Amino acid sequence: MPLPSEKSSEKNVSALLDERRTFPPSAAFKKSANWNDPAIYDRAAKDPEGFWAEQAKNLDWFTPWTRVLEWNVPWANWFVGGKLNVAYNCVDRHAHSARRNKAAIIWEGEPGDSRVLTFGMLEREVNRFANALKSLGVVKGDRVAIYMGMVPELAIAMLACAKIGAAHSVVFGGFSAEALRERINDAQAKVLITADGAWRRGTVVPLKAGVDDALTGTPTIEKVVVLERVGKAAPISMKQGRDLWWHDVVAKASGECAAEPMDAEDMLFILYTSGTTGKPKGVVHTTAGYLVGVSTTHRNVFDIKEDDVYWCTADIGWVTGHSYIVYGPLANGTTTVMYEGTPDFPDRGRFWELIDKYGVNIFYTAPTAIRTFMRWGKEFPEKYKLSSLRLIGTVGEPINPEAWIWYNETIGHGRCPIVDTWWQTETGCIMISPLPGITATKPGSATRPLPGIIAEVVDIDGKPVGPGGGGYLVLSKPWPSMLRTIYGDPERYVQNYWSRYAGKYFTGDGCKLDADGYFWLLGRVDDVMNVSGHRISTYEVESALVDHRSVAEAAVIGKTHEIKGQGISAFVTLKEGITASDALKDELKNHVATKIGAIAKPDDIFFTAELPKTRSAKIMRRLLRDIAEGRVLGDTTTLADPSVIARLKDQAKDEG
Ligand code: ATP
Ligand code: MG
């Protein structure tokens, strides 16, 4: 595949944007990058299985595989016959190498307490907790639910499960009792691991109180292990015979525990998707393929070097935290930073303070966070040096070009490559992303599928659209870290992902290809509007709005319109210090018309202090559509703050 020419950038499909620059890697970065030879794309495309087998050799196997892939659409077996253990690969093998005293986890608590666990220390802690789980009757194949804040014990608990062959199901600590109950029952978990509470902006999230509520209807739970994190700040009650303190169960546990040899296809974990589009799905990931996928992409997309300090700001309750705080970095023996709190506590400079404090080299966050930082203003990052940063990344939603440029200049100081990484809970690891030593980036484009990944943009009939076209993003060949099924619901697995196009995985995302073959993700297919026969993506209109100097964030939806089919409604939050007015509404409508064309001019604009988001901070357009259409709201259990949607509902009524 030829490399995109750096001059043809005027063909960017994102016609709305004035931003036409491309950002090739610097000669110095290219020279020292882990992957810097573009031939790797061709090599992997010619023999994807051979390519993945080569990557799999970076792991330690108890028994080698006999076949790389068995593929009976849509059921995959990767590394057939191979035996290995994920915790052994993430911890033990480093603890028994020169990395023994290297920091594995650098943890910062919200109140400012901190802890460093070396690989040697982590090995001991994982083993003690693994033995504790065994003493509670957990055996290979059981499911263990984990509901905690961002404390090192969360990673320790996950690794302990992996060590003994139990599958974990981590439920984000911000979820309600009801959401927790639903997930425990779906996974039929035997044990629940939690904490008394978690720190959030100086106050306590009462995790254990939520657990007591959730466990009123969970027949499979036998034992609950409770970590003491907040102590006197939130006294809790312990149920006799069911609840045990973490410090008690590990007190007598041995620091030695042999790793359970797991089959390559044994289940490693279940994780429920964000619920942006509907009821969450229990995505199943297995042992070998998952670890091959996350370790390979972590090492090469983030260009990890031995002495790097790497920080991903996601919560471990989401797949980004599983793959790129815990499993990917630790499999590579990388120092991974874990932070308990929010970016605005005690002040809006906290992230930048932490980057300077720990000398963070690689920083990975989300567009929603970047837009928030933009709204707060440059003065916060400008108080810090940020000179240790070498590469910065983003994931979760399409990044608006305006936000990309801000990130590049204000955080990366124009010297750090940006990796905009597209992937899903279901894909397990990054699928589309620049390779920082090879790819010339374009703001707003995740660029190209990684080596070994075969992605296409197809039309409604499944025909590839080719450069310049737009349609649906599909993955045309199986990849090691793909989901294997939906837990307990194989039919939904087949139905959701494999029934649209024969033999191809349907991502549910819309995408355009530019003349250079770069991929421009447009958000979910449901979020693409049809205005008088023109297909307009909500993301494009949002990017045009965010491009205006007054706008912090925007959510755009299509609303039934008698004449046009769909009209465009925009929900807009303004930057601090900007006042809403009808004149500003008109100005914004015209701004979109100038940027994209009259066809994309919003019919209505609503100013709002906040947008409804999932607990993983993604904009929930489906609820906005329900409001705009006056329908009953769909599943709201994953909504971060239900009051936002209630306020918007009232406002929509008032403003008609
Ligand atoms: P659900 O499937 O329950 O509706 P969800 O899709 O939001 O929830 P995730 O698996 O966390 O749950 O998110 C994956 C989705 O996030 C992708 O399908 C895509 O829409 C979006 N996404 C992630 N990264 C990017 C990116 N770099 N660019 C564009 N979109 C992205
Ligand atoms: Mg999804």
Give the model confidence (pLDDT) of 500-533 as tens digits.
999 999 999 999 999 999 999 988 887 888 888 7
Atom of ligand 1 nearest to the CA of 521: 29
The Cα angle at residue 242 between residues 237 and 243, in degrees rounded to 5 = 45
Q: Average pLDDT of the chain?
A: 93
The residues, any chain, with a CB within 8 Å of residue 640's CB and separated by 6 or more, are 174, 612, 613, 614, 615, 617
Distance 356 CA to ligand 2 centre (A): 34
Atom of ligand 1 nearest to the CA of 618: 7
Integer Cα distance of 304 and 306 in angstroms: 7
Distance 320 CA to ligand 2 centre (A): 13
Integer Cα distance of 422 and 417 in angstroms: 16
Please report where in the chains the tokens 């755009």 appear, as a residue: 556
pLDDT at 14: 43
Could you tell me the maximum CA-CA distance found in the chain, to the nearest angstrom?
73
Ligand 1 pocket check for 425: Cβ under 6 Å = yes
Ligand 1 pocket check for 420: Cβ under 6 Å = yes
Ligand 1 pocket check for 398: Cβ under 6 Å = yes
Q: Which tens digits make up the pLDDT trace of 429-471?
A: 999 999 999 999 999 999 999 999 999 999 999 999 999 999 9
Atom of ligand 1 nearest to the CA of 433: 27
Ligand 1 pocket check for 450: Cβ under 6 Å = no
Q: Which amino acid is at 338?
A: M
pLDDT at 598: 87
Residue 394: phi and psi, rounded to 5, are -145, 150
Ligand 1 pocket check for 505: Cβ under 6 Å = no
Ligand 1 pocket check for 475: Cβ under 6 Å = no
| CA-wise closest residue to 366 among 337, 393, 347 | 393
Given a contact cutoff of 8 angstroms between Cβ atoms, the answer to whether 168 and 189 are in contact is no
How confident is the model over 632-645, as a mean pLDDT?
A: 84
Distance 581 CA to ligand 1 centre (A): 33
Report the nearest-CA residue for atom 23 of ligand 1.
Answer: 396
Distance 622 CA to ligand 2 centre (A): 13
Q: Candidates 172, 472, 521: which one to mutate for ligand 1, based on the most atoms within 8 Å of Cβ?
A: 521
Ligand 1 pocket check for 301: Cβ under 6 Å = no
| CA-wise closest residue to 333 among 584, 102, 648 | 102
Atom of ligand 1 nearest to the CA of 425: 10
Q: Which tens digits make up the pLDDT trace of 539-580?
A: 889 999 999 999 999 999 999 888 888 999 999 999 989 999
Ligand 1 pocket check for 618: Cβ under 6 Å = yes
Q: Which amino acid is at 584?
A: L
Integer Cα distance of 424 and 595 in angstroms: 30
Ligand 1 pocket check for 496: Cβ under 6 Å = no
Band (78; pLDDT cuts 50, 70, 90)? very high
DSSP annotation of 534 reads: E
Integer Cα distance of 441 and 520 in angstroms: 12
Q: Which tens digits make up the pLDDT trace of 611-626?
A: 999 888 889 898 999 8
Q: Which amino acid is at 487?
A: Y
Residue 642: phi and psi, rounded to 5, are -60, -25
Q: Is residue 9's pLDDT more than 50?
A: no
Residues facing 565 on adjacent strands = 531, 561
Band (17; pLDDT cuts 50, 70, 90)? low
Ligand 1 pocket check for 85: Cβ under 6 Å = no
Ligand 1 pocket check for 483: Cβ under 6 Å = no
Atom of ligand 1 nearest to the CA of 426: 10
Atom of ligand 1 nearest to the CA of 272: 3
Band (595; pLDDT cuts 50, 70, 90)? confident
Band (280; pLDDT cuts 50, 70, 90)? confident
How confident is the model over 108-120, as a mean pLDDT?
A: 97
Report the nearest-CA residue for atom 13 of ligand 1.
Answer: 424
H or E segment to which residue 560 belongs: strand 551-561
Ligand 1 pocket check for 323: Cβ under 6 Å = no
Report the nearest-CA residue for atom 12 of ligand 1.
Answer: 274
pLDDT at 614: 86
Integer Cα distance of 279 and 639 in angstroms: 12
DSSP annotation of 90 reads: I
Distance 473 CA to ligand 2 centre (A): 13
Q: Candidates 397, 400, 537: which one to mutate for ligand 1, based on the most atoms within 8 Å of Cβ?
A: 397
pTM (predicted TM-score): 0.91
Q: Which amino acid is at 18?
A: D
Ligand 1 pocket check for 280: Cβ under 6 Å = yes
Integer Cα distance of 152 and 536 in angstroms: 44
Integer Cα distance of 383 and 597 in angstroms: 40
DSSP annotation of 514 reads: -
Distance 610 CA to ligand 1 centre (A): 20
Lowest mean pLDDT among 146-150, 232-236, 300-304, 453-457: 232-236
Distance 480 CA to ligand 2 centre (A): 19
Relative orientation angle of helices 119-135 and 152-164, to the nearest 10 degrees: 60
The residues, any chain, with a CB within 8 Å of residue 258's CB and separated by 6 or more, are none
Atom of ligand 1 nearest to the CA of 319: 11
How confident is the model over 305-330, as a mean pLDDT?
A: 98
Q: Is residue 12's pLDDT more than 50?
A: no
Q: Is residue 15's pLDDT more than 80?
A: no
Give the number of residues written for the chain: 656
Given a contact cutoff of 8 angstroms between Cβ atoms, the answer to whether 517 and 585 are in contact is no
pLDDT at 6: 28
Strand 143-147 relative to strand 191-195, pairing: parallel
Integer Cα distance of 533 and 86 in angstroms: 50
Distance 428 CA to ligand 1 centre (A): 12
Distance 365 CA to ligand 1 centre (A): 14
Ligand 1 pocket check for 526: Cβ under 6 Å = no
Torsion on CA atoms 143, 493, 484, 176, rounded to nearest 10: -40
Burial class (CB in 10 A: 0-12, 13-18, 19+), 615: buried
Distance 503 CA to ligand 2 centre (A): 19
